[in-house]
Amino acid sequence: MIHRLRRSRFFRFATGLVAGAALLAACSQMPQVRTESAAPAPTSSAAAPAAPAPAQLGTQWGEGVESKTRTVVAKRLFPQPDEVASLAYNDAASVRRDAGNNPERRLNLQLVQGDVEWSVLDENDRPLPLQRARRSNDMFRIAGIEGARYTLRFRNYSDRSYEVIATVDGLDVLNGKPGSLRNGGYVLRPLQTLDIEGFRKSQSEVAAFRFAAPGRAYAANTEAGDVRNIGVIGAALFEIERPGAPSRPHRDPTAAQPNAFPADGAYAPPPRYRKPLTP
């Protein structure tokens, strides 16, 4: 898991990183190495939604952002995640079409029975509105702007520790491989905030998340990517052991969107664009 400490608006520091899928696949009840990034910080049944609009935005491998991590050892309390959630994103016109008139709106999602708050922030640290059609159990959607940078924020309000596995366009943000619940993740400690600003390039740097045309998306320009997964962000949370901390009885998460974690280390490799990009 990865633990991050915050220095300024533009620089984030992490104090721990979870290593590879092989360790997690071996035994979820054994101690595993994970990435830790900690910064101190203060549904019902519904009608089936219309088919979503085709993806008009993806997420590009952006500029380098300093983000230091350290490796820590952690143990999952249960082999299955406590929560799996997904958010869709697209251009504003497509989101309006999918959400319809008078959509349900939120600024964040409450995960693991309210322990953790998940939001997506713009370049000014403001939460991007989440919206979906009322009386729908489909994913909430975010309207992005091509070229704009964004950050995934997880804020822990509880006295429990969690491992956070995140994917963008079906790719794990730590190793750039197809998302899998067997991968390692970031550590989110009690009453702390985790900001994930990009695809991890090394223990000291990430490539910023920036909305881009699908052809420029990282998932469209790396061997592990699948263009069918462009436009979805996934998050899975596992409670991890902390000496002396109480834990709640485990419950299975609600059904997750199938494309957030499409498959089962190393860090994410840089993209390989298939043809020259025009300005």
pLDDT for 22-60, tens place per residue?
223 323 333 444 566 544 444 344 445 567 888 899 999
CB-side neighbour CA atoms (13 Å) of 79? 6
Rounded average pLDDT over 229-246:
87
In this prediction, residue 10 has a pLDDT band, given cuts at 50, 70 and 90, of: very low
Task: Calculate the average pLDDT of the chain.
Answer: 81
pLDDT value at position 197?
Answer: 97
- Cα 230 to chain centroid distance, Å, stands at 13
Q: What percent of the chain has pLDDT over 90?
A: 62
